[in-house]
Amino acid sequence: MAIVLGLMSKKGGAGKSTIVKLLSSSMTYTGHKCLVIDLDPNKDILTWWAVSKTNNLAEDNLIVRTVSPERDLFDLVDEFDDKVKFIIIDTKGEGVDFGVDLASVADALIIPCLNAKADSDRTKETINWHKDLKARAEDPSRIPPLHVVMSRVNPKLLTHVKGTPKPDGVGVREFERHYEIINQLDPLDIMIPEKPIYQEIEERGTLGMIIKEHREKTDASSKMKLRHFEAAMALAILLGNCIFEERKMSKANGS
């Protein structure tokens, strides 16, 4: 049986598709077959897959499908359940009406959250929706867990130690909200930093294939970039582990 992850958030631009690209890249790079179901009418993942193929930077074991009137989400999950190790479902950035469908097929739900008031408010609403869904379920253990991932985090805050002074170059409100999100939304222990490299992945192909391409180059600039891509891959692998181990920041910090 495939492990199914569903990305959701009421707000567009929070980083859902980026997380889908990272996770599907790391899963295929580490040798697993992975299906991405692109439920977003904008078809960001389908476009990324097509671009990857054009650039010869698509992993062979990555498959992307969209739904159609003849083949809905449930049909696709059924079809691929014993053919792939992972199924990742990307969704559009509005509403949680489809959330019940998503919750019924997924083993875990992931919601990226930006450091912005509107985002943390919407994320709280989704957390409440999830709590309510669990409370109403006949068997609450069948409702998949919902995990918040802090997305596009200022790199200066990635290694900041709680309780120590605010780093230079981070706004006061940004700093306070960063810890409000950690305290109120109990995110996963891995955060995604804001880095131009994530846009490059979007424009070029799967991360593992970009790494392989850069390993073959000998110029200094490619070597430098290779280190950044490898760091992004390490983070993507850690994020996957963090999801499966349900490692939350609160647990990691012993609070």
Identified binder of Mg ion from the candidate list 4, 11, 17, 191, rule CB under 5 A: 17
Contacts of 20 (CB under 8 A, 6+ apart): 7, 36, 45, 88, 90
Residues 216 to 235 in contact with ligand ADP, rule: CB under 6 A = none
Identified binder of Mg ion from the candidate list 38, 44, 119, 189, rule CB under 5 A: 44
Size of the site for ligand ADP (CB under 6 A): 18
Segment interacting with Mg ion (CB under 5 A) among 36-44, 52-60, 178-186, 213-221:
36-44
Q: Are 123 and 93 in contact (CB under 8 A)?
A: no
- 194 forms part of the interface with ligand ADP (CB under 6 A): yes
Residue 186 Cα to chain centre, angstroms: 16
Closer Cβ to ligand ADP, 133 or 197, answer by number: 197
Closer Cβ to ligand ADP, 14 or 242, answer by number: 14
* Element of type H or E holding 49: helix 44-54
Closer Cβ to ligand ADP, 93 or 230, answer by number: 93
- What is the C-alpha separation between 150 and 189, in angstroms, rounded? 9
Closest CA to 148 of 108, 175, 197: 108
Segment interacting with ligand ADP (CB under 6 A) among 16-24, 74-82, 102-110, 160-168:
16-24
- 167 forms part of the interface with ligand ADP (CB under 6 A): no
Segment interacting with ligand ADP (CB under 6 A) among 127-135, 154-162, 163-171, 192-200:
192-200
One-character DSSP codes across 219-245: SHHHHHHHHHHHHHHHHHHHHHHHHHT
Identified binder of ligand ADP from the candidate list 2, 4, 6, 18, rule CB under 6 A: 18
One-letter amino acid at 61 equals N
- 29 forms part of the interface with ligand ADP (CB under 6 A): no
Q: Which residue has the tokens 């424009």?
A: 203
One-letter amino acid at 203 equals E
- What is the C-alpha separation between 210 and 206, in angstroms, rounded? 6
Q: Which residue has the tokens 């596009």?
A: 152
At residue 63, what are phi and psi to the nearest 5 degrees?
-125, 140
Q: What sign results for the dihedral spanned by CA atoms 134, 181, 232, 253?
A: negative
Size of the site for Mg ion (CB under 5 A): 3
Q: How far is the CB of 255 from ligand ADP (least distance, A)?
A: 26
- 59 forms part of the interface with ligand ADP (CB under 6 A): no
Q: How far is the CB of 23 from Mg ion (least distance, A)?
A: 13
Choose the one of ligand ADP, Mg ion, none that binds residue 199, judging by a C-beta under 5 to 8 angstroms depending on kind.
Answer: ligand ADP
Q: Are 185 and 120 in contact (CB under 8 A)?
A: yes
Q: How far is the CB of 16 from Mg ion (least distance, A)?
A: 5
- What is the binding site for ligand ADP (CB under 6 A)? 12-18, 44, 93, 151-152, 192-195, 198-199, 202
- What is the binding site for Mg ion (CB under 5 A)? 16-17, 44
